[in-house]
Amino acid sequence: MTQQQQLLFACIENCCYFKLSGELRYTNASGMDDLVERLFTSKLNCQQLVVDLNDVSFMDSTYIGLLASLARFCQQQQLPRPTLFSTNSDVNELLYSLCLEQAFDIVQQATSAAVELSAVSAQHYSEQQHGQMILRAHQALIALNDKNKAAFQPVVDLLKQQLK
């Protein structure tokens, strides 16, 4: 049985909290993508970002790219590095294999946030919008370092061709 994906979010005193759970795949990433876009267009006033991945069972490269986008937002805004909580060894292995520790402070412990979080619904994306989201996520991933660039550049090139 696959665990239902869920995205919870709150922005409290200029700190944005993301709590993700379940299987995070490109097919259910539109809500997260929309939040990332709202961050970049300054519709959310975030001075600090906290991401809780403790209840995540699986994450694909698109979702990791969306996380990389959050880190890029913090760099561009000259904010502190985002904090990422994750106690799942499989997820942590993936995060470290894609060098996310270069962009995040990864804390391997449980969270006990007494924060009121709201569920974020998936957005209704067209096939073109879905493709653009996957492309942006992978571009953020390859922007992290050369190892990721070598691994994901072919994906980015293929997506660019398909989206023309």
| Average pLDDT for 96-106 | 95
Please determine, for residue 3, whether its predicted confidence score (pLDDT) is greater than 60. Answer: no
State the chain's maximal CA–CA distance in angstroms. Answer: 46
| Average pLDDT for 106-134 | 91
Mean pLDDT of the chain: 92
pLDDT computed for residue 1 by the predictor: 40
* Nearest to 68, CA basis, from 103, 41, 35, 94: 103
| Domains of the chain, start order | 6-163 (3.30.750.24)
Exposure b/e, 29-68, CB count within 10 A at least 16 = b: bbbbbbbbeebeeeeeebeebbbbbbbbebbbbbbbbbbb
C-alpha 57/C-alpha 59 separation (Å) is 7
Please determine, for residue 2, whether its predicted confidence score (pLDDT) is greater than 60. Answer: no
List beta partners, residue 84.
51, 106
* Nearest to 117, CA basis, from 62, 55, 57: 55
Report which DSSP code applies to 17: E
Q: How many residues does the chain have?
A: 164
Determine contact, residues 70/82, Cβ cutoff 8 Å: yes
Please determine, for residue 149, whether its predicted confidence score (pLDDT) is greater than 60. Answer: yes
Q: Which residues have a Cβ under 8 Å from the Cβ of 76 and sit 6 or more positions away?
A: none
Please determine, for residue 95, whether its predicted confidence score (pLDDT) is greater than 50. Answer: yes
pLDDT computed for residue 113 by the predictor: 65
Q: How do residues 52-92 score in pLDDT, each as one tens digit? A: 999 999 999 999 999 999 999 999 999 999 999 999 999 99
